[in-house]
Amino acid sequence: MKKNCFIILFSCSLLGAYAQDETFKQKFKEANTLIEENQYKVALPLWLKLQESAPSNANLNYKVGICYISSANDKKKSLAYFERAIANTTKNYDPFSASEKKAPLDAYLYLANIHHISYNLDKATSYYKTFKKVATKKHYLYKKADLGLKQSNNAKVAVANPVKTTITNMGGTINSAYGDYSPVIAVDESSIYFTSRRLRKDSSNLYYVDFIDGNYFEDIYVSHKYDSTWSEPELLNISTDGHEAVINISTDGQTLFMFRDDSGDGNIYTSKKNGEFWSEPEKIGSNVNLESRETHAHITPNGNSLYFTSNRPDGQGGKDIYFCKKLPNGDWAKAQNLGNVINSPYDEDGVFIHPDGKTMYFSSNGKNSIGDYDIFYSTLDSVGKWTTPINMGYPVNSTDDDIFFVTSTDGKRGYFSSFKEGGLGEKDIYQIELEEAEEKPLTLLKGYMAVIGMKELPDDAEVIVTTINSDEQPKIYSPRKRDGKFCAILEPGKDYHIVYSTLKYRKEEDLYIPASSKYQEINRAINLDDVIFGDSTVTIAEPTLPTPPIKMLDTIKPIVTKPIVKEEELNLEEYSYTQYFGYNKNKIDRRNPTYINMVEESVKRAKRTRRLVISIKSSASKVPSKTFRTNDALAYKRAIDAQRHIKNELMSKGVSAKYIIFKEVDSSVNGPEYKTEEATDPEIYEKHQYVTITIR
């Protein structure tokens, strides 16, 4: 009897151990897949749980360390895990095996990197050297170790010789608990445009989540300064449900440059200002946007040269800065690489041309960086060549990423985004006082325009600046509609003819800016009279801030409109398009011939009938979706995405919004229950992952 009991207990113990081992393998595989998909934030809790069950397992410590060092604000938490990981390393590392107990040699490099970021520069140097000793030159991270070693040595010198500056976080009005970055400043510093991954105030982007990192998609915001106080940021009207990031604004404030992800093929777009709104963004053509990834751009003040960054294969390595000239027909000429004076074998990004047209700021993780991206500047010499870039020094640059730097017109202040201790969110925007910088010899003309009896300026109000005895094209500036504020950049040594006009009113004047003049501001409210049109004196009232958006209802519902006539009375041919999706996908394939035909035929019909009745049905399978929280949310997102997409598509082709009628927008979850062993079989689930657009 005792023998039988022992056999039973032993068998149960084996079964329990086997079940436990299978659970471990399953969790390991799931967490590993998330890392392969760069979903470190989602993978981290799984790795922490596994590491708790085996604290001395070097591989599990390495995996936790990778998740932390890939995060925005918790990088330093990786230190302890990488220290445990290097206690047991191997050259024959198997990243996919749940039975792997050792860490790869990479752990030495990452440990060096986290010491580097933490300013433990001697330790960083030591671990970079250790990695180079244990790894071969063929190792895929060997060059990164070489670069890290150089950067840590650069950092020692920079930290020992700090530049005089004051760095200030722009505070909770601008920054949020989410990522805020890529600041763009109006020439008079009265407005700041920036990119944010925050939850919108009305929660309309609640389900617009990038499955790769689990964060909300990028949106573009603007804040205006009134009496030294920044207003609550407003979402720009050109923001959609995908990635949109502001990258620069033209000197006259009329053209916004922005980045769109375009399903991984990043491209640069421009939008034109129309009163208080921005036009539908258009992709820059010619030789700028190719199949490569273009991430940043800026135009010179005269509008004749465009500088942009791209990872196209003909560069120096990584992302490079290119430029192209504007042709007489308005197109851009063939892009040219700026060469190895500016570009390195690594990455350059965030290019910004100062309003003087002679100073270029950009970020690079090559050159003599002190760690990751640093901010550099270069100037045009007397023969039109860019000089060797100068690192802006510590503490402007840190041992982590410092990027997207722009300066004020006088060159004494800068704005940039950075990861810094004590920040409010994932990445914050900072203002920096450049105490040792020389003022730029420019003149900023600014003031207000108003028409007596009108609360706002009419849409046709403008300031036209013409350079006398010059072939330069006149520059047109639009005053801010809400309060009439305007500003214009004037270069030294030139005669200007300035026209202020609106409605039936017009005022003209000439201004001469001496060649020897330093930076100055001609403030019409102080130096000259404000431009007031009408028959009597008027006081410009304090600007009225925009009305806050209406509070969102508890649930977001798609907009469904009803046709004016009954559906059966339309008696029209039906056009339909069905898009099937892979796991967690929701983007319409605009290149599909069936989709193209549906749109083209619908546009033709709209011109004849002035009415399009649209039904949308979407579905999600029962495969779990952590990104969208629930399958219902994913199905719903597919429906409202399709609704917004087809409406914008039709409107972009000239169909009036009042002709577009949504009869039905429906979403549901369908298909068999999810089984892990069938997860890789698309035949089972993908037929239940779709959206159907039907137009009558």
**Span 37-75, pLDDT tens digits:** 888 988 999 999 999 999 999 999 999 999 999 987 789
Residue 485, pLDDT score: 82
CA contacts within 13 A on the Cβ side of 250: 21
Using the predicted structure, report yes or no on whether residue 193 has a pLDDT greater than 80: yes
Q: Which helix (H) or strand (E) holds 472?
A: none
Distance from C-alpha of 626 to C-alpha of 46, rounded to nearest angstrom: 13
Residue 139 has pLDDT above 60, yes or no: yes
Where do runs of H (alpha helix) occur along 407-460?
A: none
Q: CB-side exposure of 191: number of CA atoms within 13 Å? A: 21
Whole-angstrom distance, CA of residue 521 vs CA of residue 188: 9
Higher pLDDT, residue 96 or 17: 96
Indicate whether 570 pLDDT > 50.
no
Closest by CA position to 417, among listed 369, 463, 372 = 372
Instruction: Please indicate whether residue 241 or residue 115 has the higher confidence score (pLDDT).
Output: 115
Q: Which amino acid is at 607?
A: K
SS3 127: helix
Which region among 107-121, 332-346, 521-535, 630-644 has the lowest average model confidence (pLDDT)? 521-535
Q: Between 2 and 242, whose confidence is greater?
A: 242
> Which residues does residue 320 pair with via DSSP β-bridges, in sequence order?
310
Closest CA to 430 of 452, 410, 406: 406
Q: How far apart are CA 317 and CA 347, in angstroms?
A: 7
Three-state secondary structure string covering 262-284: CCCCCEEEEEEEECCEECCCEEC
**Which residue type, as a one-letter code, is found at position 430?**
Y
d(CA 619, CA 632): 9
Indicate the angle between helix axes 142-160 and 121-134, nearest 10 degrees. Answer: 160
| Whether residue 558 has pLDDT greater than 50 | no
Q: With bands split at pLDDT 50, 70 and 90, how would you rate the model's confidence at 483?
A: confident
Q: Are 386 and 369 in contact (CB under 8 A)?
A: no
Confidence of residue 329 (pLDDT cuts 50, 70, 90): confident
CATH architecture of 165-434: 6 Propeller (2.120)
Distance separating alpha carbons of residues 254 and 73, to the nearest angstrom: 35
- CA angle at residue 536 from 534 to 538, to 5 degrees? 90
**More confident position, 206 or 173:** 173
Question: What is the band of 79 on the pLDDT scale with cuts at 50, 70, 90?
Answer: very high
Residue 255 burial (CB < 10 Å; 0-12/13-18/19+)?
Answer: middle
The helix (run of H) or strand (run of E) holding residue 397 is: none
**Which helix (H) or strand (E) segment is 622 a member of?**
none
**pLDDT of the residue at 551:** 28
Of 393 and 557, the structure prediction assigns the larger pLDDT to 393
What does DSSP say about strands 191-196 and 180-185: parallel, antiparallel, or unpaired? antiparallel
Q: Computed over its alpha carbons, how large is the radius of gyration of the chain?
A: 29
pLDDT at site 6: 52
Whole-number Å distance between alpha carbons of 75 and 604 = 55
Going by C-alpha positions, the residue among 522, 546, 475 that lies closest to residue 254 is: 475
Q: Is the pLDDT of residue 565 over 70?
A: no
Confidence of residue 3 (pLDDT cuts 50, 70, 90): low
The mean per-residue pLDDT over the stretch 132-155 comes to: 94
Nearest to 457 by CA among 568, 350, 543: 543
Whose structure tokens read 């995996």? 63
Give the per-residue pLDDT at 23. Answer: 84
CB atoms within 10 A of CB 692: 17
Q: Is the pLDDT of residue 680 over 80?
A: no
**594 vs 676: which has the higher pLDDT:** 594
The predicted structure's pLDDT at residue 564: 38
pLDDT at 392: 93
Cβ–Cβ < 8 Å for 185, 151: no
Q: Are 496 and 414 in contact (CB under 8 A)?
A: no
Max intra-chain CA distance, the chain: 114
Going by CATH, does the domain composed of 23-160 fall within 1.25.40.10?
yes
Confidence of residue 263 (pLDDT cuts 50, 70, 90): confident
Scan for tokens 């990197």, then name that residue.
Answer: 113
pLDDT band at residue 287 under the 50/70/90 scheme: confident
Reply yes or no on whether the pLDDT at 607 is more than 50: yes
Q: What stretches of 503-630 show up as alpha helix (H) in DSSP?
A: 567-570, 593-609
Q: What distance, in Å, lies between the first and last C-alpha atoms of the chain?
A: 79
More confident: 273 or 615 = 615
Name the segment(s) of the chain with CATH classification 3.30.1330.60. 567-695
Three-state DSSP class for 608?
A: helix
Residue-level pLDDT at 218? 92
- Inform me whether the pLDDT recorded for 13 exceeds 70: no
User: What does the pLDDT average to over 139-155?
Assistant: 94
Does residue 496 or residue 422 have the better pLDDT? 496
> What per-residue confidence (pLDDT) applies to 682?
66
CA 270 to chain centre: 15
pLDDT bucket at 563, cuts 50 / 70 / 90: very low
What's the whole-number mean pLDDT along residues 108-128? Answer: 97
- Residues of 667-687 as b/e, b for ≥16 C-beta within 10 angstroms? bebebeeeeeeeeeeeebbbe
Residues above pLDDT 90, as percent of the chain: 42
CATH architecture of the domain with range 567-695: 2-Layer Sandwich (3.30)
pLDDT in tens, 622-660: 888 766 667 887 888 888 888 878 887 887 777 877 788
435-446 pLDDT tens trace: 888 888 888 888
**Would you state the pLDDT for residue 7?**
55
C-beta of residue 296 within 8 angstroms of C-beta of residue 350: yes
What tokens appear for 282 in the block? 């258009």
Which residues of the chain does CATH 1.25.40.10 include? 23-160
CATH 2.60.40.10 segments of the chain: 443-533
* pLDDT (mean) for 19-44: 85
Q: Listing from the earlier edge strand, what are the strands of the sheet with 575-580?
A: 575-580, 690-695, 612-620, 660-669
CATH number of this structure's domain 443-533: 2.60.40.10
Asked whether residue 10 carries a pLDDT value surpassing 70, the answer given is no
Average pLDDT of the chain, as a whole number: 84
Residue 372: is its pLDDT beyond 70?
yes
Paired tokens of 629: 């929280």
Phi, psi angle pair for 59, to nearest 5°: -65, -45
Q: Which of 139-153, 317-331, 357-371, 517-531 has the lowest mean pLDDT?
A: 517-531
Place 327 in a pLDDT band, splitting at 50, 70 and 90.
Answer: confident
Cβ 416 vs Cβ 395: under 8 Å: no
User: pLDDT at position 606, please?
Assistant: 86
Three-state helix/strand/coil letters over 67-116: HHHCCCCCHHHHHHHHHHHCCCEECCCCCCCCCCCCEECHHHHHHHHHHH
Indicate the pTM of the whole model.
0.70
Confidence band of 304 (pLDDT split at 50, 70, 90): confident
- pLDDT range class, residue 12, cuts 50, 70, 90: low
**542 vs 5, more confident:** 5
Strand pairing report for 294-299 and 320-325: unpaired
